[in-house]
């Protein structure tokens, strides 16, 4: 079997999938749900948009790499790698549950506003065709939309021309009022003992030879 990644790279990809999301949650989660911080509604809504798009990033990472990681785990005869590939898939399904709270057009609005927050120059709105990313209830879609269709879709989220902050508050409340497995999983993953165990489980699969390899 031809392999694209070294054993060390597989370990890095699997661990990175979880550790990157944990870091993001620790950095931003408190501003969403801690009463001390969430009094600033405008700031909370901005972080909410960034957070939802980060969920899509993690889901896209799973979808792009999981099949190849599973193939490599079998090739390396690593039950531990295979176990955590399964955990990646489970975690992705929890993210899907969260994203199902929002319609396609709501997700377009969320990402559109997020892009204005994190980019100094936006070239997409200047083009006749705009790249869009959204979860359709089954899979993550990356597609192109005509500019007028794109803006028309976003406008449907706010038919009464309310303030953006009011619309985003309504969308945030969908997230805040929904109790799903994702939040329980994040509570567990943010436990320092759980993080240490995750790191130990994955990297104990490597030998000294794996670390000395130039690959990964």
Closest CA to 144 of 165, 126, 129, 158: 129
Residue 211 lies in a domain: no
Q: What is the pTM of this model?
A: 0.90
Beta-strand runs (E) in the chain: 129-135, 140-146
pLDDT band at residue 124 using 50, 70 and 90 as cut-offs:
low
Give pLDDT, residue 131. 92
Q: Cα separations (Å) of 22 from 16, 26, 110? A: 10, 6, 22
Count CA within 13 A, CB hemisphere, residue 123: 0
pLDDT tens, residue by residue, 31-80: 787 777 767 899 999 999 999 999 999 999 999 999 999 999 999 999 99
> What is the length of the chain?
216
Domain range enclosing 77: 7-205
- 3-state helix/strand/coil string of 116-140: HHHCCCCCHHHCCEEEEEEECCCCE
| pLDDT at 172 exceeding the cut of 60 | yes
Residue 126 lies in a domain: yes
pLDDT band at residue 126 using 50, 70 and 90 as cut-offs:
low
CA distance 43 to 80: 41
Residue 192 lies in a domain: yes
pLDDT band at residue 96 using 50, 70 and 90 as cut-offs:
very high
Q: Cα separations (Å) of 23 from 9, 116, 118, 133, 199? A: 20, 23, 18, 23, 14
Name the least confident of 71-75, 117-121, 141-145, 166-170: 117-121
Domain count, the chain: 1
């Amino acid at each position: 079997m031809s392999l694209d990644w070294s054993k060390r790279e597989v370990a890095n990809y699997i661990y990175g999938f979880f550790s990157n999301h944990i870091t993001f949650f620790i950095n931003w989660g408190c501003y969403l749900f801690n009463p001390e911080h969430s009094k600033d509604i405008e700031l909370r809504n901005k972080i909410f948009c960034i957070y939802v798009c980060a969920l899509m990033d993690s889901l896209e990472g799973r979808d792009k790499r999981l099949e190849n990681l599973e193939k490599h785990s079998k090739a390396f005869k690593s039950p531990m790698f295979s176990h955590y590939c399964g955990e990646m898939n489970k975690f992705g399904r929890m993210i899907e549950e969260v994203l199902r709270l929002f319609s396609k057009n709501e997700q377009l609005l969320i990402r559109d506003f997020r892009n204005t927050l994190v980019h100094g120059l936006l070239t997409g709105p200047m083009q006749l065709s705009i790249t869009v990313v959204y979860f359709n209830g089954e899979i993550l879609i990356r597609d192109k939309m005509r500019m007028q269709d794109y803006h028309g879709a976003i406008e449907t989220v706010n038919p009464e021309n309310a303030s953006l902050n009011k619309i985003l508050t309504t969308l945030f409340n969908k997230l805040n009022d929904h109790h799903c497995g994702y939040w329980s999983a994040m509570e567990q993953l943010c436990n320092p003992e759980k993080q240490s165990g995750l790191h130990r489980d994955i990297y104990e699969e490597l030998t000294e030879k794996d670390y000395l390899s130039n690959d990964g």
